[in-house]
Amino acid sequence: MRVSEVLPATGVVHDPATPEGRAWLESVYARDDAAYVRLNMITSITGAAAGDDGTSETLTSRIDRAILGIIRAHADAVVVGAATVRAEGYLLPRATRLAVVTVSGDLSGHRFDDDGASILLVCPAGRADAVRERAGLAAAEVVAVDGDDDLHPTAIVSALARRGYPRIVCEGGPTLAGRFASAGVIDEYCVTIAPVLAPAEHPFLPLRAGGAPRTEPAGLLVDDAAFSYFRLRTRS
């Protein structure tokens, strides 16, 4: 499967299955900033965050998964909500830590294959002990966030940075992604649009009226299966 760079319009076609094509794709998504917050999600044309099986697996593609791996490899932590862990049956990223935002510690349905050594449990400070116990991941690192149960994205980002995880990619789900976007903590949006029509009762990125972030296009790739890969940067 090949991919073309539409923005900027170079007219060059690349094959990420080759070493040269993979290196090119990595250069497109590389970030050398000391700290940042990216959003990386996939959606159908209709705005659904999941396909027929209720997960993103039925929307994704080989190139989307390659981009996911590249973005994760450049991050210190992948941030997801506990509801997404339960719905998607999350696997651990290969090259970075998984930071699960949770109030209860309920991570049922996950597919972690160790005792949580690569897991960060991001939770309210007052619930740290209860969250650790319910999660049942003995080696997980608890990142306690000051404040009440309604964890603010700014507080989450700050708490992770203090622990040595300043480069963050948020993978949702929609509720967490929408809160991060509305709070203005995201500086780059990486969104894959799958050529699929799927029911979308709730958008993949819910935003408040009048609260949408100001962005400008940073890049657009299109592959020969009609998947589109957008990058948007936040404008100050």
Tokens coding 216: 């400008």
- Predicted confidence at residue 98, as pLDDT, reads 94
- Over residues 45-70, the pLDDT tens digits come to 999 888 777 778 888 899 999 999 99
Q: What is the mean pLDDT of residues 203-230?
A: 90
Tell me the whole-structure pTM to 2 decimals: 0.91
- Over residues 159-206, the pLDDT tens digits come to 999 999 999 999 989 999 999 999 999 999 999 999 988 888 888 999
pLDDT at 111 over 80: no
Strands (DSSP E) contained in the chain are 3-7, 13-14, 36-44, 77-81, 97-101, 119-124, 141-145, 167-170, 188-194, 215-223, 228-234
- Over residues 121-158, the pLDDT tens digits come to 999 999 999 999 998 888 899 999 988 888 999 999 99
**In whole numbers, what is the pLDDT of the chain averaged over residues?**
90
